[in-house]
Every structure is written in C-alpha cells, then in structure tokens.
C-alpha cells in the first residue's frame, strides 16, 4: 500500500509530437526507398522481359519499344514521390504549418513586449498631460460666465431702450445674484440706467474709442476684452442687451432667465435657447399679484 510507486518516464507533449513526427518522416523515407528499389528491379525486369523474353517485341509506340514509355511513366511517379517526401511534406505538412504558426506567435509576442515597454515609458508623460488638462479645465472652470435676462414668451426684452415690465421680485433676484460681481453690458443698456448700480463693477462694451463714463466704469471695445477684464471674478454676469446676449450665448456657461409668461411688442430680443446645447437645471414659478402684473418663472440653464 505504501510501497514505492514505479516511476514512469515523463515525456511532455512537445517531445511526443517531435518523436511522432520523426517516426512519420522515417516511414515516408523508407517507403520512398522501397519505391526506388522496386523501380530499379521493375525497370530491369521490363527491359529483360522485352529484350530477352521477347514479350511485346512487336509492340512499339512512335517507333520506340513500349518498355521505354513504361519506364518513363514509372520514373515520373517516382519523381513525384520524391518531391512529395522532400518538398511537400517537409515544407507544407502539419509540422511546417505548426512551425510557421509558432514563428508568427513568437513575432507577435515580441511586438506586444515592445509595445508594453513603450507604454511604460510613455505612461508618465500621458499622466502628466492628463493632469495638466485637468488643472487647465479646473482653472478655466473657476470663472462661470453667466447670462442674466428677463425675456417674454416671444423673447422680447426691451423697447425704445427701456424694459417692458416692472417685476419687483425679478429686480430683487437680479440684485442679489449680481451683487459684488462684474456686470458686462452693451453701451445701449448702460445708457438705459439712470446711474450705475451700486456694489457692482460695470464693464461697458462699445465700438467708440472715446466713450465717456463715470469713474469706476470700465469701457472696452469687444466682448472678449470685457471677459478678460472680469477674469478675477468667479462669476461675471452678462446683463444685456439684445446685441450682447446674442454674442455671449455662444460662450456663456450658464443662463439665469426670468421667463415672463406673456408676449410683448419689442425692438430688442433674446436669442432662442437651443435645448441641444443647454439643459434646464432649475425652474420656479411666480404667480401674478399686486406687485407683479404678469406670471413668470425663474429658470436656470447650464451648458451641456
Ligand atoms: N430684459 C432684460 O433682461 C434686458 C437686459 C438688458 C437690456 N435690455 C434691453 O435691451 C435693449 C438694449 O439692447 P440692444 O441690443 O439694443 O443694445 P445693447 O446690446 O445693450 O448695446 C448695443 C451696443 O453695444 C456695442 N456693441 C455691441 N457689440 C459690440 C462688439 N462686438 N464690440 C464692441 N461694441 C459692441 C455697440 O455700442 P456702440 O454703438 O457704442 O459702438 C452697440 O451699439 C434695451 O431695450 C434694454 O432695456 C433688457
């Protein structure tokens, strides 16, 4: 029961295949050798049969003895056999296929190793650039350019350089949201105010080179410059009017819209909000009352 187990020789699969292959090759060569010997004996026998025993002596083909054709045909089969053993089986047999496959697999393995090494080398560079992009995005995202507007159902926002309605809760919301921030506006909107609003930095956009403004108001000649001068504010506001909204909608991050649920005649309009670019993130309805002649909703949109 606990006796020593008889050890059997261990041959792995690869070795076994090699042995089987060698045996097969030996058999093929032996058969070819037998064929060759048979051919020699057979040829001598055919020649003797014809010349000594006079078998088929009178039978000729194209003026030659028949045995010559017989030997030639046999020789052809012998050459075909030799070709099979030394060329077809050697180069195109199963072993050859396996050999080719092994070579291919080895080449692929080398390529994979090479790629792995290259990846190892490049990984820190990729990580660094990803980190750089993340930091850049964070830096850019620290400033949230926000449009603030009150627009009617037909997108009218003003007429004769004046607001169309008076909604005190909307004004309160405007004041509380923009308090302490940069407010960017077109020259016409600026001129619609009786005086600059307190506790806000006014940035007025005009194409005029000598536009005069009260002290503290910043004048710029493009929307880009307006955004640049406001870059230290985490949330600069675009406060109108129609011309500036149209340009700013392309680059803003957020919209604080008061939608007045009426349609009005106007000469300044807010552009259409494209739902494929903007998603609504807040919506608060406000009813009509003694201070508010119209129903309206506070809506927030964020760029998708
Ligand atoms: N409902 C609301 O929330 C709201 C808010 C704000 C305003 N509004 C209303 O909107 C109306 C005013 O809007 P608006 O469209 O007529 O005028 P606006 O946009 O306020 O100002 C237009 C002016 O801005 C300057 N400008 C525009 N684009 C420029 C650019 N790319 N580079 C340099 N300067 C540029 C030009 O000034 P120069 O002509 O001096 O070159 C232009 O005439 C008013 O009725 C106002 O009451 C409504």
Q: 293 with 152, same domain?
A: yes
Residue 28 lies in a domain: yes
Residue 190: C-alpha distances to residues 59, 198, 265, 291 (Å): 124, 14, 22, 26
Q: 261 with 156, same domain?
A: yes
Domain termination residue (choose one: 92, 112, 133): 92
CA of residue 281 to ligand 1 center, whole Å: 27
> Residue 252: left if φ>0, alpha if ψ -120 to 50, beta else—which one?
beta
Establish whether residue 158 lines the binding site of ligand 1, counting it when its CB lies within 6 angstroms of any ligand atom. Answer: yes
Average pLDDT over residues 126-133: 53
CA of residue 188 to ligand 1 center, whole Å: 5
Establish whether residue 191 lines the binding site of ligand 1, counting it when its CB lies within 6 angstroms of any ligand atom. Answer: no
Q: 78 with 165, same domain?
A: no
Q: 154 with 221, same domain?
A: yes
**Alpha-carbon span 303 to 227, nearest angstrom:** 18
CA of residue 276 to ligand 1 center, whole Å: 26
CA of residue 152 to ligand 1 center, whole Å: 17
Residue 120 lies in a domain: no
261: which residues sit within 8 A by CB, 6+ positions away? 153, 294, 295, 296, 297
Handedness of CA 36, 39, 44, 45 (dihedral sign): positive
Q: 170 with 266, same domain?
A: yes
Establish whether residue 242 lines the binding site of ligand 1, counting it when its CB lies within 6 angstroms of any ligand atom. Answer: yes
Q: 177 with 65, same domain?
A: no
Establish whether residue 149 lines the binding site of ligand 1, counting it when its CB lies within 6 angstroms of any ligand atom. Answer: yes
- Kindly tell me if the per-residue pLDDT of 5 is higher than 50: no
- Residues spanned by the domain of 73: 14-92
Beta strand extents in the chain (DSSP E only): 60-61, 64-65, 146-152, 156-158, 182-186, 201-205, 218-220, 237-238, 254-260, 268-269, 278-286, 296-303
Q: Any bridge partners for residue 182, and if so which?
A: 201
Buried b (16+ CB within 10 A) or exposed e, 135-148: eeeeeeeebbbbbb
Residue 113 lies in a domain: no
The closest residue, in CA terms, to atom 40 on ligand 1 is 206
Range of weakest confidence among 10-14, 25-29, 105-109, 167-171: 10-14
Residue 37 lies in a domain: yes
Residue 9 lies in a domain: no
Q: 153 with 28, same domain?
A: no
Residue 27 dihedral angles phi and psi, to the nearest 5°: -60, -45
Domain termination residue (choose one: 70, 92, 114): 92
Please state the pTM of the whole predicted model.
0.62
Domain termination residue (choose one: 92, 109, 138): 92
Q: What is the number of domains present in the chain?
A: 2
Average pLDDT for the chain: 87
For residue range 75-87, list pLDDT tens digits in order: 999 999 998 888 8
Q: 86 with 150, same domain?
A: no
Residue 117 lies in a domain: no
Q: 160 with 274, same domain?
A: yes
Q: Any bridge partners for residue 110, and if so which?
A: none
The pair of structure tokens assigned to 155 is 């997108």
Q: 48 with 164, same domain?
A: no
Residue 135 lies in a domain: no
Q: 76 with 186, same domain?
A: no
Q: Which pLDDT band holds residue 61 (cuts at 50, 70, 90)?
A: confident
What CATH number should be reported for the domain holding residue 239?
Answer: 3.40.430.10
- Kindly tell me if the per-residue pLDDT of 98 is higher than 80: no
Q: 36 with 180, same domain?
A: no
Whether the link from the prior residue into 241 is cis, omega within 30° of 0, is yes
- Kindly tell me if the per-residue pLDDT of 2 is higher than 60: no
Residue 112 lies in a domain: no
């Amino acid at each position: 029961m606990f006796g020593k187990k008889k050890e059997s020789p261990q041959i792995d699969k690869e070795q076994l295949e090699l042995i089987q292959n060698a045996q097969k090759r030996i058999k093929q060569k032996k058969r070819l050798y037998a064929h060759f010997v048979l051919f020699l004996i057979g040829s001598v026998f055919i020649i003797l049969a014809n010349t000594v025993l006079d078998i088929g002596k009178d039978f000729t083909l194209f003026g030659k003895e028949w045995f010559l054709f017989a030997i030639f045909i046999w020789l052809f089969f012998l050459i075909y056999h030799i070709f099979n053993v030394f060329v077809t089986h050697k180069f195109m047999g199963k072993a050859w296929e396996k050999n080719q496959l092994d070579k291919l697999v080895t080449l692929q393995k080398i390529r994979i190793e090479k790629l792995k090494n290259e990846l190892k080398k490049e990984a820190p560079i990729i990580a660094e650039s990803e980190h750089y992009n993340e930091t850049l995005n964070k830096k850019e995202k620290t400033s949230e350019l926000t449009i603030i507007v009150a627009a009617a159902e037909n997108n009218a926002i003003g007429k004769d350089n004046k607001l169309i309605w008076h909604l005190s809760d909307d004004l309160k919301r405007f004041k509380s949201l923009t308090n302490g921030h940069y407010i960017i506006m077109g020259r016409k909107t600026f001129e619609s105010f009786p005086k600059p609003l307190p506790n806000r930095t006014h940035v007025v956009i005009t194409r005029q080179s000598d536009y005069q403004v009260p002290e503290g108001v910043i004048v710029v000649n493009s929307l880009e410059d307006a955004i640049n001068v406001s870059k230290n504010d985490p949330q600069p506001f675009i406060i109108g009017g129609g011309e500036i909204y149209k340009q700013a909608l392309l680059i803003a991050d957020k919209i604080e819209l008061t939608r007045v649920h009426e349609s009005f005649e106007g000469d300044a309009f807010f552009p259409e909000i494209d739902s494929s670019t903007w998603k609504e993130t807040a919506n608060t309805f406000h009813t009509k009352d003694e201070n508010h002649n119209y129903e309206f909703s506070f809506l927030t949109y964020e760029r998708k």
